[in-house]
Amino acid sequence: MKVLIISGGKEPSKSLLFRELKDADMIIGADKGCEVLYKYGITPDYILGDFDSANEDIINSIEEKALKKIKFKREKDYTDTEISYNLAMEKGADEIILLGATGTRYDHSLSNFGLMLRGLKKAIKVKIIDDNNYIFLTDKPITLKGNKGDTISFQAYCDEVKNFNISGAKYNLTNFNLKLGDSITTSNEFLEEEIKITFDSGIVMILYTND
């Protein structure tokens, strides 16, 4: 089951939002993210959060149509996005797409990256997408699809990715121990339609990016 979560960060474009809506089985509006759904006339299955940053009239309007509203106190232990993630897991999600999960609040963005790691450990696909980035984690070798000239970057999301290899890219790499914070794998490029990465151990963050 694919669950789409819209949070209150960088607003997704209409085209991105509707692309991800096409095959979504459940829609969750997290606090200010509800305003994006209201803007395009989309009724979520759930709305939740402390609603400290969302327009009250919009929340009240959506509440009349949504399946359920879940309100939390502002002084809580989890972010609205994490609460949404937990709800998606409770409902049986095997894929979770986070829109509005990046933006000017880097603290929230970093917390949301952590949700990708939590999902990976449970074999749940968790992806963070905005109009300039498509981000996910892998702990296994993978063949990546793209178009010639597309930009792609890799980061270690652990202390070290051992014997990291890139093939089929503009800049290939062989048996490199990629450490957390290394920049050598930033801004690579597709030469054709596939890039393959392999490694012995570790977790790799994959970032498709565009300006």
Residue type, 56: E
Residue 165: what pLDDT? Answer: 98
Q: Please say if the pLDDT value at position 67 is more than 80.
A: no
Q: For 10-51, what is each residue's pLDDT tens digit? A: 999 999 999 999 999 999 998 888 889 989 999 888 888 766
Which CATH superfamily does the domain covering 2-131 fall into?
Thiamin pyrophosphokinase, catalytic domain (3.40.50.10240)
Q: Does the pTM exceed 0.85?
A: yes
69-106 pLDDT, tens digit per residue, is: 555 545 555 788 999 999 999 999 999 999 999 998 88
Please report, for the chain, the start and end positions of each structural domain, with discontinuous segments joined by +. 2-131, 138-209
- Each residue of 118-177: pLDDT tens digit? 999 999 999 999 999 999 999 999 999 999 999 999 999 999 999 999 999 999 999 999
| Stronger pLDDT, 57 or 184, i.e. the higher one | 184
Alpha carbon distance 96, 126 (integer Å): 5
- Coil, strand or helix: which one is 143? strand
CATH architecture of 138-209: Sandwich (2.60)
Give SS3 for 117: helix
Give the pLDDT score at 74.
Answer: 55
Instruction: Decide if 193 contacts 147 (C-beta within 8 A).
Output: yes
**Sign for the pseudo-dihedral over CA of 15, 71, 53, 107:** negative
